[in-house]
Amino acid sequence: MATEVAADDQAQEKTRGPVGEWLYNLKMRAPWFVAAALFRVMYRFKVVGEENFPSTGPFILCLNEYSLPALLVSGWIAIVMLERVMETTPESIQSYMMEELWSFSFFSDIPTQGASELKPLMPQGAGRLALGLLDGVKVLREGGMININPEGDVTWDGRPLRPGKALAWLALHTGVPIVPALASIGAYDIWPRWRPMPHLGGLMQLNIGKPFTLVDEPMAAVEPEDIAAANELIFKKFNEVRFLPGSQEDWAGPLTRNGTPVKDPLVLKPAHAPVVPWPDVDKAGESVRKRGLAQLLWRCPMCHTEDALVHKHHQIGRDKVRCRACGTRWSLWRVVHHDYRMRVEEGHPDMVGLELPLTTWYDEARRDFELNAIDVPGINLRPGEEVYLTADGVNFKAYRPSPLFDGLTSGEAPRTMTPGSRTYAAHESLGEGRLLVTSERLVWQGPEGEMSFEWPHFTAINIVMMGTLYIRYGPAPYRFDLPGQISLRWMTYTGTLAKRAAEVDGHELQMMRF
């Protein structure tokens, strides 16, 4: 949700001398141009379809962010291409960005200057029709331009994310063209979210598609079914651009076993029945980032044991992956501008030689997910309540202003914020403690008390900044830093329970895909 935030130090133009202004512009522009220059050498970066970029407004420029390289490309185009438009059409430009980016000084130092303005979007809130979007309608009706990432997140497995509601809402209310300027799918295999470091070679380009409109005339009233239909068209148009020159099916590649296409439905078999617990020496002292593919396949595709995969990186040759529970071993390799591939090298005789795209292995890992109760001491459970997941050393943060900073230490967490203004991404720690997922609530046990978040009141769940669980409880935002934890695992548990609660009363719940 676009939030109007009282931040005078960000809204007011900063007074600088000529040298200070030059240094400031260098700071803001240099990273994008340096990245673009490096990408031309490393990834053969180029712009395809530049002739499709409008010379004047109004229009909505849509970017995407598969990975950090794609984020840098989106920043580069926002500077280079939009500056060309402003030379001839100096109307205002409004950029929507995830509010969490204001945690970084690079973004928080950007003031509202002249015709350009940044608007923060709450994580997973781009689809909420907020007052900030009305500002966007005004900009477009006056001939200006909107810059937005409608997908609002970084994909974990490379497959495109569905757009939120904000883009469709703006385009239906104004009738202006949508311009897709999307990093090609090769940006994903260069540096997927689960890989600790990027590959130093590959293929990435910026594909600018032909502008398209959703309606011939602006709509005065937009219903949910209008947005749903518009998003289907947007998703289709975007996929035509991002997968150039092929399709999503071409990108994923075939399912084979020993080189022969697999035509029968997949029935995966583990090497042997899973054995738990197992020695934990493989990951002792290792950061979550270094665990690589285990962040994505946090559940074994063969035996469905959780947190059992070990990924061994190799500079030369293919990576190795194995399940400590069932003994299956795979080789893993990258295919430039395509999905990663994994093949069973050791395991059940019927499985050896089975080669699938990583997205298929991920689907199999998620299949038949169940919540299994565990015994946990130190919590007073309600009748029939079960604990499913727990982590220690979790840093709990609330966003100011919040009643939690006024002495409230236990009970149900506040569902609203304290009346008053707030600053972008102004979250502050309330201490470290234990976080538990139960059948009825999310529980944080801190040094001064226990705070409960009941599933029926969740309105959004997301993973931000790799290892942080972000939630909105009612409209109030909170976050939990999860050191040493696989964030997708926590997203799956919390998302499953919150979704079940939302389906009971029909309230809207916004979540990242898991």
pLDDT digits (tens, 9 = 90+) for 444-502: 999 888 999 999 999 999 998 778 999 999 989 999 999 999 999 999 999 999 999 99
CA distance 79 to 85: 10
Amino acid at 109: D
Instruction: Tell the burial category of 71 from Cβ atoms under 10 Å away from its Cβ (0-12, 13-18, 19+).
Output: buried
Inform me whether the pLDDT recorded for 111 exceeds 90. no
Token pair, residue 480, equals: 């939990």
Cα separation of 13 and 1, whole Å? 25
Distance separating alpha carbons of residues 482 and 267, to the nearest angstrom: 34
| Arithmetic mean of pLDDT, 257-273 | 92
Please, what are the domains in the chain?
A: 8-249 (3.40.1130), 253-366 (no CATH), 387-511 (2.30.29.30)
Rounded to whole angstroms, the Cα distance separating 489 from 51 reads 44
Examine the pLDDT at 333 and tell me if it is beyond 60: yes
Residue 260 pLDDT: 96
Question: Are the beta carbons of 476 and 492 closer than 8 angstroms?
Answer: no
DSSP string over 187-251: HHHHS-TT-SS--S-----EEEPPPB-S-SS--SS--HHHHHHHHHHHHHHHHHHHTTTS-HHHH
pLDDT, residue 3, reads: 36
Task: Please compute the mean of the pLDDT values over residues 232-256 and round it to a whole number.
Answer: 94
Burial class (CB in 10 A: 0-12, 13-18, 19+), 451: buried
pLDDT at 115: 44
- DSSP-derived secondary structure for 382-430: PTT--EEEEEEEEEEEEESS-GGGGT--SEEPPSSPPSS---TT-EEEE
Alpha-carbon distance of 89 to 91, in angstroms, equals: 6
Q: Backbone phi, then psi, for 238, in 5-degree steps?
A: -65, -40
Predicted confidence band of residue 90 (pLDDT cuts 50, 70, 90) = low
pLDDT in tens, 116-171: 555 555 543 433 445 578 888 998 998 888 989 998 888 999 999 999 889 999 99
Q: Predicted confidence band at 66 (pLDDT cuts at 50, 70, 90)? A: confident
Res 6 pLDDT > 60: no
Confidence of residue 278 (pLDDT cuts 50, 70, 90): low
pLDDT for residue 95: 77
What is d(CA 365, CA 373) in angstroms, rounded to the nearest whole number? Answer: 19
Q: What is the mean pLDDT of residues 357-380?
A: 96
Buried b (16+ CB within 10 A) or exposed e, 294-306: bbbbbbbbbbbbb
146 forms beta bridges with: 60, 94
